[in-house]
Amino acid sequence: MRRRQATPAVLADGRALGAAMLRRLFIGQCLVLALHLAFMPAWLAGLAALVAGYRALQLRRRLPRAGVVLRLAGVAALTAGLWLQYGTLGRMEAMIGLLLGVYLLKLLETHTRRDARVVVLIGLVATTVAFLHDQGIPVALGALLAVAWLLHSLVCLAGASDARLAWRESAWLLGLSAPLMVLLFLAFPRFGPLWNLPQAERAATGLSDEIAPGDIAELSRSDRRAFRARFLGDAPAPAERYWRVYTLSDFDGERWRRATAARLGLGRGALAAEGRRSPWPPSGEPRFEAELLLEPDSRPWRPSLGAPLASDERLRWLADGTVEGLSPLASRSLLRLSSSGQAPGWPDPLGARWHTRLPEEGNPRSRALAERLWRETGGAPRAYLEALMARFGEAPFRYTLTPPRLTSRDRVDEFLFESRAGYCTHYASAMAVLARAAGLPARIVAGFLGGERHPDGHFTVRDYDAHAWVEVWLDGGWQRLDPTAAIAPERIEQGAGAIEDGGEAFLADSGFSPLRMREIGWVNRLRLGWERMEYRWQREVIGYRDQARTALMARLVERLHAFWETLLGALPGRGPLGWLAGLAIAAGLLAGLGGGLALAWRARREGRDEALRIRRLQAWLARRGLPPREGESPAAHLRRLAEAAGPAGPALRDCAHQLERLRYAPLAAAERRERRRVLGRRVAEVRRRLPRHRAGG
């Protein structure tokens, strides 16, 4: 009878790949590509399908192998497509697309195991690159699945013919790497990037540094998240959650813009200073300290609750009471910021003349109204502003999410005397113009109002929380005036969703938003639970920095010290004898832990190497006076001892039999695993049943 040849453990790198391995590589490519599709062109999926289809037909000998011309044409088409998509190849998204495209096209020239290993390694790099897009929980879970599959492919390429064995080996390798990964994550700080790549304009919020009446109303249609905040002390009341982002003081009759040093032709340090603390004199002690989790944004804005005062990182502090980062946010970032909760108490360096500036012509009816109200209030600034607020609070003015379009040149006049319906920017713009027409310095502040409070205490601020209000220089400081509070107080207390007029526009661009089902209890609980988990992931895992590492190490040392004190307290004395006893107990615990790990490692090695297991059994027998004779094989040694081993005899004979089968018989992988398990049980039986008094041989 012809003996079946044993399958070699490792095949040569030059051996051709079969359809099963190519299919495994293609599935790995699909898993990696899925991590990028939300951020990359969808036509890359079509490229993957074309390459897979060509290889499938080529394996069936319907198409020839892809030659150099076809491969170069594929690379050229990929490069041209990315150029047309992004307009350049120097941006991060284009570079990632080029990596993914080469990864997919590599399958055209993958014919040997060496080629397949290259494909898998490129896939591991592409999986890591996915975290440049997003570092959320779904991407992390998807990356773990992709890495497991790619590792499984490497194990199969190493010669594992049984799928179950390959998966077990892959799980074992992942399990071994997990403790090292956790140790490196906890003990070593996260370094900043060595270089930065140009990125596409990615705004986390629709706010911009210039607005016109009606602009912010468009943001009520979106539930996109702008940032999240957690207060380290008392949280502000709903009416105090005014998040400043931009201060707009340049008005051309239609739009309000920021007055930047570059736009005014001033020196860079004229209106801003860099550092960890604001150089502008505060009006009081910090009232709020918040930890902000900011979304990625191509602009360097940072929100503050009132005038910003100090931060845990270097920022650019502007004279108008706002703050900017030194660079845009390429990914989610944590920022700790203390603020006053109030409008700035210091004068703007541009002076009162700038903040009372209006176009020479335009809005004549608004100017006439301001002149009349100023006379009626006797030229008293506070009385004048109270009259304006009272006028806005009267009918027929109404607050709506769908304001009518203003088309005339005198848009403030058109709003005040004709449409009389608008959103926060309509009322803020009209209020600022009327204040300036009376000679009062005024400016608009664009930012956010409110935010959804979660059960764990943090706040989520979204696009639809965008808001605009007015600051007027009065009695030696800037005073906040919000006409919305007079027209729609429910907007201040409950948010944009509480506005009934035009409410169909709320979240109109977010048709599948779970916020639409907040009234359904279990859906809302699921939403809040997911957002809480995602927030903790971003804050405690992705946001793990030097401060968090130092705090964690301090907590570990504190707990070890508390355990030590508890241990010493349980001893009869706390003198030198107690310390020695404590050291002995600690040494015993460490020795026990080390011994347990050593035994586990030894059992693992013996389970994979039958020769090692038998050698250790022979050494154990030798220590009991039953050594092998010179030139005697292990199997012969065990069979000789079995004759006089009493109850351990059958186990010794079976050990010899299993050893010979494992060493010399052509066994399938499943049978080999089973015989190794049987051998382990027989060795344990020998150790248990061999009489202790037996010796000699």
Which residues are within 8 A (CB) of 629 and not within 5 positions of it... i.e. 6 or more apart?
A: 637, 640
Place of tokens 């899925």: 34
On average, the pLDDT of the chain sits at: 82
Q: Which residues lie across from 268 on neighbouring strands?
A: none
Backbone angles phi, psi at 211, to 5 degrees: -140, 155
Return the number of other C-beta atoms located less than 10 Å from residue 52's C-beta.
Answer: 19
pLDDT in tens, 502-516: 555 666 656 667 777
Q: Give the whole-angstrom CA distance, residue 294 versus residue 304.
A: 12
Handedness of CA 555, 558, 564, 566 (dihedral sign): negative
Q: Give the whole-angstrom CA distance, residue 97 versus residue 105.
A: 12
Q: Is 59 in contact with 22 (CB distance < 8 Å)?
A: yes
Least confident window among 127-131, 289-293, 539-543, 631-635: 539-543
Backbone angles phi, psi at 275, to 5 degrees: 155, -170
Place of tokens 């005899």: 649
In the prediction, which pLDDT does 371 show? 93
Token pair, residue 455, equals: 């059960």
CA distances, 534 to each of 280, 293, 335 (Å): 37, 12, 17
Report the amino acid identity of residue 370. A
Q: Is 634 in contact with 622 (CB distance < 8 Å)?
A: no
Burial label for 440, CB within 10 Å (0-12, 13-18, 19+), is: buried
DSSP state of 280: S
pLDDT at 340 over 50: yes
Nearest CA-CA partner of 327 in 238, 219, 196: 196
Q: Give the whole-angstrom CA distance, residue 413 versus residue 416.
A: 5
Q: Give the whole-angstrom CA distance, residue 275 versus residue 222.
A: 34
In the prediction, which pLDDT does 10 show? 41
Token pair, residue 397, equals: 């003015």
In the prediction, which pLDDT does 2 show? 42
Q: Which residues lie across from 467 on neighbouring strands?
A: 447
Q: Could you give the percent of the chain with pLDDT greater than 90?
A: 23
DSSP state of 540: I
Strands 256-257 and 272-277 turn out to be unpaired
Least confident window among 88-97, 204-213, 528-537: 204-213
Crossing angle of the two packed helices 113-129 and 137-157, in degrees rounded to 10: 170
Q: Give the whole-angstrom CA distance, residue 559 versus residue 382.
A: 59
In the prediction, which pLDDT does 9 show? 38
In the prediction, which pLDDT does 5 show? 41
Confidence class for position 303, pLDDT limits 50, 70, 90 = very high
pLDDT at 194 over 60: no
Token pair, residue 443, equals: 């400016």
Q: Could you give the percent of the chain with pLDDT greater than 70?
A: 85
Least confident window among 217-226, 355-364, 464-473, 659-668: 217-226
Strands 333-339 and 301-302 turn out to be unpaired
Kindly name the residue from 467, 637, 654, 655 that is annotated as catalytic.
Answer: 467
* Coil, strand or helix at 441: coil
Least confident window among 215-229, 257-271, 566-580, 605-619: 566-580
Token pair, residue 94, equals: 């284009």
SS (H, E, C) 611-659: HHHHHHHHHHHHHCCCCCCCCCCHHHHHHHHHCCCHHHHHHHHHHHHHH
Token pair, residue 74, equals: 């594929």
Report the amino acid identity of residue 348. D
In the prediction, which pLDDT does 692 show? 65
0.85 exceeded by pTM: no
Q: Is 480 in contact with 242 (CB distance < 8 Å)?
A: yes
In the prediction, which pLDDT does 244 show? 93
Report which secondary-structure segment, H or E, holds 470.
strand 466-474
* Coil, strand or helix at 599: helix
Compute the average pLDDT of residues 641-656: 87
Q: How far is CA 570 from the centre of its chain?
A: 46
For the question of residue 475 being annotated catalytic, the response is: no
Report which secondary-structure segment, H or E, holds 140.
helix 137-157
Q: Is 696 in contact with 625 (CB distance < 8 Å)?
A: yes
Kindly name the residue from 215, 320, 465, 482 that is annotated as catalytic.
Answer: 482
Strand order in the sheet with 242-248: 304-305, 242-248, 442-449, 466-474, 477-481
In the prediction, which pLDDT does 7 show? 38
CA distances, 628 to each of 509, 558, 625, 661 (Å): 82, 55, 10, 21
Report the amino acid identity of residue 685. E
For the question of residue 424 being annotated catalytic, the response is: yes
The helix/strand count (H/E) of the chain reads as 22, 19
In the prediction, which pLDDT does 322 show? 92
In the prediction, which pLDDT does 593 show? 76
Burial label for 693, CB within 10 Å (0-12, 13-18, 19+), is: exposed
Which residues are within 8 A (CB) of 334 and not within 5 positions of it... i.e. 6 or more apart?
A: 291, 292, 293, 294, 539, 543, 545
